Every structure is written in C-alpha cells, then in structure tokens.
Amino acid sequence: MKARIISIANQKGGVGKTTTAINLGAALAMRGHRVLLVDLDPQGNASTGLGVSKSVRGQSTYDLILGEASPLDIALETSVEHLWIIPATMDLSSADTELMNSARRVMHLRKALRLRDAPYDYILVDCPPSLNLLTLNAFVASDTVLVPLQAEFFALEGLSQLLLTVREVRSTANADLRLEGIVLTMFDRRNNLCLQVEEDARQNLGDLVFETKIPRNVRLSEAPSYAMPVLNYDPTSRGAIAYRSLASELINKNQMVEGLDV
C-alpha cells in the first residue's frame, strides 16, 4: 500500500504545528509505523527538534522540491526508531522564487513524494506558516491536511482562509485532497475562552475536530531544546499522553474513512 501523505498546516505561526509534526510522527513510529517527516519550513525547526544539526544537512527539502534528489536518498534516521526526516535549510526560502518560473510549479513535491514503492506508512509534511507555493506544493502532494488550531479568540477566523485554499487545490490540482481534521492545541481546560473556542469549533466543524486536545504543557516546550520528541523526553507527561492519543485517533479514523470533506 502507498504511504498516506498528510500536510500539517496553518498559515498562522505559533500554533503548535511543528510540535504536532514531530510528536505525531514519533507517536505513529512508536506504534510500529514507518514514518517520514518532510520539513518544508525554511526555519527548519522540525529538523532541529529531532536532533538534526545544520552541519549534517547536506541535501534537504530544497533539493527534493527542485527535483535534484530522491527522498530515499536524503532521508535521515532520527533517534526514534521507524522515524526518518528530510531536513530543511534556509535555501528553501528561495524555492518560492525558483518555482514561480515553472509551468507546473505546484506539482514538484507531488512528483517527488508519490513514489510507487515508498517504504513508509505515513509521510508527514511540516508546512511553513503561510499559504505560499511551498504550502500549495504540500497540499497538491497530500492525501489530507491536518490543521493544528490554537484555542484562542481569532482561531476560527484564520481557519476559513486555509479551508478555502484546500477547496481551491481540490478543484484545480488535487481532486482527492481531504481534510484529515482539526486538532485543538495549547488547550487549558481551566480557561473559559478555550472551552468556548472548543464549543464553537465543534458546532461549526463537527466530526472534523479530533476528540484529543493538546494541552499547554511545560514538557512540550522543553523537549525541542533537548532535540527529542516529548514522547522520549517525558513519556508520562500530559503532552506525551495527548500525542499518543492523537495518533490512535488518527489511525482509527483512517480505518473508517478516507478523510472527510471540507
């Protein structure tokens, strides 16, 4: 079976997108699934958070998206068994400009990742915090989009533009693209605003919202500085428990339905 490709995206920064990419990838890998994490953010935070130093990032997602490298050749092992990463470098920040001159500028990542015999169960793409050509490439390459949504006042307003982009990509370049779901992040059940955002999200989006909520958790914030997922750094922390739960929910959902319509 081909790998399931999931873009993890939100054009708003600081919502737990990279944290979700790292820890969901680790949680899936720890369940025995072979996972490739594609760092498509020029900041390279997912690469750093998994212990890939800049000195070993020879070829990167920049080479991948420009068709100069195969994922099988440049994927690096991480400290988590069954989890590989294609790292990002700052070279990726110029990819938008270089892709602009290509007639098939949104198809490059799809061509690179849709391998006939990819040895992965899941490919997670950590998108940049913008709806630029890199993110569009990720959407065209993907089966589904997973959206981390911070439980804050303007969360749902920002979500509408992303959902419109998913619809546009579906109508023009990837008819099979679906929404994997919305996961609430930085959630504090003691905060009435968080509870209101959750209520609004579930009323408006229904089953698209995962039951699992990712809490505000000090261990989640500390883990990247030790270059490891929170599941390794503190397996008993609330953050680690939440990401294991999210992985289980995602697997169960995929067994029942191939993504939901936006």
For residue 257, what pLDDT is reported? 58
Confidence of residue 156 (pLDDT cuts 50, 70, 90): confident
- Compute the average pLDDT of residues 129-138: 94
**Rg of the chain taking only CA atoms, in angstroms:** 17
Residue 97's pLDDT is what? 84
Q: What angle, 0 to 180 degrees and rounded to 10, lies between the N-to-C axes of helices 192-205 and 155-172? A: 30
- Average pLDDT of the residues in 153-182: 91
Domain count along the chain: 1
For residues 75-102, b (16+ Cβ closer than 10 Å) or e, as one string?
A: bbebebebbbbbbbbebbeebbeebeee
Q: Which of 170, 180, 169 is nearest to 146 (CA)?
A: 180
Percent of the chain with pLDDT over 70: 97
Does residue 237 fall inside a structural domain?
A: yes
pLDDT tens profile 234-258 = 999 999 999 999 999 999 988 765 5
Place of tokens 């990279």: 18
Does some domain include residue 248?
yes
Is residue 84 one of the residues assigned to a domain?
yes
Instruction: Find the angle CA(238)-CA(124)-CA(104) to the nearest 5 degrees.
Output: 150
| 121 domain-assigned | yes
| Tens digit of each residue's pLDDT (9 = 90 or more) over 211-226 | 999 999 999 999 999 9
3-state secondary structure the chain: CCCEEEEECCCCCCCCHHHHHHHHHHHHHHCCCCEEEEECCCCCHHHHHCCCCHHHCCCCHHHHHCCCCCHHHHCEECCCCCEEEECCCHHHHHHHHHHCCCCCCCCHHHHHHCCCCCCCCEEEEECCCCCCHHHHHHHHHCCEEEEEEECCCCHHHHHHHHHHHHHHHHHHCCCCCEEEEEEEEEECCCCHHHHHHHHHHHHHHHHHEEEEEEECCHHHHHHHHHCCCHHHHCCCCHHHHHHHHHHHHHHHHHHHCCCECC
Q: Could you give the CA distance from residue 10 to residue 150 in angstroms, rounded to a whole number? A: 10
State if pTM tops 0.75.
yes
Whether residue 45 lies inside any domain: the answer is yes
Q: CA 250 → CA 127, 180, 182, distances in Å?
A: 19, 8, 11
Asked whether residue 262 is assigned to any structural domain, the reply reads: no
Q: 107 lies in a domain?
A: yes
Evaluate if residue 1 carries a pLDDT over 80.
Answer: no
Domain limits for position 119: 4-256
CATH of the domain at 178: 3.40.50.300
Task: Tell me whether residue 261 is in a domain.
Answer: no
Query: pLDDT at residue 84 above 70?
Result: yes
Q: Using the predicted structure, report yes or no on whether residue 27 has a pLDDT greater than 80.
A: yes
In the predicted model, is pLDDT for residue 149 greater than 90? yes
- Residue 16: pLDDT band (50, 70, 90) is very high
